[in-house]
Amino acid sequence: MANNYTDTTLDQVRPVLLAGLKTDQKQNLDYELTELKNLALANNLQPVETFLQALDRPNPATYFGKGKVEELKVAVQTYDADLIVTNDELSPSQIRNLENETGATVVDRTGLILDIFAQRAQTKVAKLQVQLARLQYQLPRLRTSMSVSLDQQTGAGGAGFTSRGSGETKLEQSRRRLTNEMVAIKRDLGELQKDATIQSKKRQASELPTVALVGYTNAGKSTLMNQFLARFGQGAESDQSKQVFEKDMLFATLNTTIRQLTLPDKTKFLLSDTVGFVSKLPHHLVAAFESTLQEAAQADLLLQVVDISDDHYHDMMKTTEETLIRLGIKDKPMITLYNKADKAEWAFPIVDGDHITISAQDRESQDVVLDHIKKELFANMSEVTLHIPFADSRVVASILANHVLLDQDYDETGTTIRVALNPQEIEQHKQYLA
């Protein structure tokens, strides 16, 4: 099967061949290839043709079988394409052999994702995390680039050492350089993340519940965050410069932003926005972004944002679920937001249990989402009557700073108030229970 991406007007971008294996009946190749194509486009590459082969298992030497390798070699010349992108992560020797056989540079899905992350990284932490992931990916592959020329000289195709002496020493030097760099990055990240840990502890101490936006990349998480910030952010946070970055592109967000929202009824909670997911997220990247991604693990409630205008939205939801499990996040309360209903031409807002169809920019949708968040977060609140002596009147003030007053009365000994509190707060104020 060959897809023709006929848009050849973009001559400034590099033509690229996509190639993948079908090894498993259950595999959703169509979804994976659409993703791969989008990842390539995000890297300014123009896919010109897709090559697929059904194999029970990848060829250990060249990943593809002999015939397909030959086809790729011909296509490299036909399209004058010097790049092949593969759907799976290849071993260093598979990449090297495929490069030798086809005469093109081979980049696997992991390499492609790492390159996009590298282009997008803005903050110091994100830059260090991406660089760490890249070095970890490069380390076992060092021999690839070094030995391409060596193999060509000696005519050796298979794995193994093709050179001793100066070449190997250089390899050793490169390895040491990479390893040293990785140690330095980890140290710097450790320092920067110490601050983050302190802030996270402070947040926990503030006892405000946390809600985390999660989901596939480009689903609309940051857009929703900005809409809420503009309406309920803390003073300056509703100003444009304090908004998070939202854009129609893969991996617009690479860092985590947490902000406090205060609703008109005084309800307060923290909302976090973080990196989006894609299927087969490289494990080096997950490891390097661990602390960034862990924000969701700390949350009391997840909001999974789904782009229902994308035909593959079911697969994207599956990818999100799988990624959450990989991060050790399961059994957390979650509200699913079917977003971009305006684009998909679905009716909105529509509530179906914990699934809500919305459009991120629509106020009514936002209100419905907030109602649900409140129900989830404060489901365990109960109305109580407290009798607080005048001597403790600052307790009245502190409760009313965060809660809506349902009823109030006075007598000669103190104030009686009726409010909805959570179990911890009830415990905290139990001496005043009337």
Ligand X SMILES: Nc1nc2c(ncn2[C@@H]2O[C@H](COP(=O)(O)OP(=O)(O)OP(=O)(O)O)[C@@H](O)[C@H]2O)c(=O)[nH]1
Q: 358 or 388, CB closer to ligand X?
A: 358
The verdict on 253 binding ligand X (CB under 6 A) reads yes
The verdict on 321 binding ligand X (CB under 6 A) reads no
The verdict on 272 binding Mg ion (CB under 5 A) reads no
Q: How far apart are the first and last CA of the chain?
A: 75
- Minimum CB separation of residue 395 from ligand X in Å reads 41
The verdict on 251 binding ligand X (CB under 6 A) reads yes
The answer to whether 55 and 29 are in contact (CB under 8 A) is no
Q: 43 or 253, CB closer to Mg ion?
A: 253
- Minimum CB separation of residue 345 from ligand X in Å reads 10
The alpha helices in 139-165, defined as continuous H runs, are 142-154
Residues 216-245 close enough to bind ligand X by CB under 6 A: 217-223
Choose the contact partner of 223 out of ligand X, Mg ion, none; CB within 5 to 8 A by kind: ligand X
The verdict on 310 binding ligand X (CB under 6 A) reads no
Please state, in angstroms and rounded to a whole number, the distance separating the CA atoms of residues 2 and 50.
Answer: 5
Using CB atoms within 10 A of its CB, is residue 241 exposed (0-12), middle (13-18) or buried (19+)?
Answer: exposed
> Quick one: which of 296, 252, 367, 260 has its CA closest to 358?
367
Which amino acid, 405? L
- Minimum CB separation of residue 217 from ligand X in Å reads 4
Choose the contact partner of 210 out of ligand X, Mg ion, none; CB within 5 to 8 A by kind: none
Span interacting with Mg ion, options 91-99, 253-261, 337-345, 401-409, rule CB under 5 A: 253-261
Tell me the C-alpha to C-alpha distance, in Å, between residue 33 and each of 14, 27, 30, 114, 232: 18, 11, 5, 18, 40
Q: Which residue from 19, 130, 212, 252 is in contact with ligand X, where contact means CB under 6 A?
A: 252
The verdict on 395 binding Mg ion (CB under 5 A) reads no
The answer to whether 129 and 188 are in contact (CB under 8 A) is no
The verdict on 66 binding ligand X (CB under 6 A) reads no
Please state, in angstroms and rounded to a whole number, the distance separating the CA atoms of residues 266 and 182.
Answer: 46
The verdict on 414 binding ligand X (CB under 6 A) reads no
Q: 299 or 305, CB closer to ligand X?
A: 305
Tell me the C-alpha to C-alpha distance, in Å, between residue 252 and each of 116, 213, 406: 10, 14, 44
Q: 151 or 307, CB closer to ligand X?
A: 307
Going 221 to 223 to 227 to 232, the CA torsion angle's sign is: positive
Tell me, residue by residue from 261 to 280, as one string, x for binding to ligand X by CB under 6 A and - for no binding.
---------------x----
- Minimum CB separation of residue 273 from ligand X in Å reads 7
The helix-helix angle for 142-154 and 92-102 (nearest 10°) equals 40
The verdict on 292 binding ligand X (CB under 6 A) reads no
DSSP 302-354: EEEEEETTSTTHHHHHHHHHHHHHHTT--S--EEEEEE-HHHHT--SSEEETT
Q: Which residue from 86, 131, 222, 227 is in contact with Mg ion, where contact means CB under 5 A?
A: 222
The verdict on 253 binding Mg ion (CB under 5 A) reads yes
Question: Within 10 Å of residue 57's Cβ, how many Cβ atoms?
Answer: 8
Long-range contacts of 187-192 (CB under 8 A, 24+ apart): 188/128, 189/125, 189/128, 189/129, 189/132, 192/124, 192/125, 192/128
Please state, in angstroms and rounded to a whole number, the distance separating the CA atoms of residues 213 and 155.
Answer: 53
Span interacting with Mg ion, options 170-178, 247-255, 387-395, 410-418, rule CB under 5 A: 247-255
Span interacting with ligand X, options 183-191, 214-222, 399-407, 423-431, rule CB under 6 A: 214-222
The verdict on 339 binding ligand X (CB under 6 A) reads yes
The verdict on 257 binding Mg ion (CB under 5 A) reads no
Task: Using the structure block, give the residue that is written with the tokens 């902000």.
Answer: 259
Q: 138 or 217, CB closer to ligand X?
A: 217
Q: 88 or 342, CB closer to ligand X?
A: 342
In the complex, the residues that contact Mg ion under the rule CB under 5 A are 221-222, 252-253
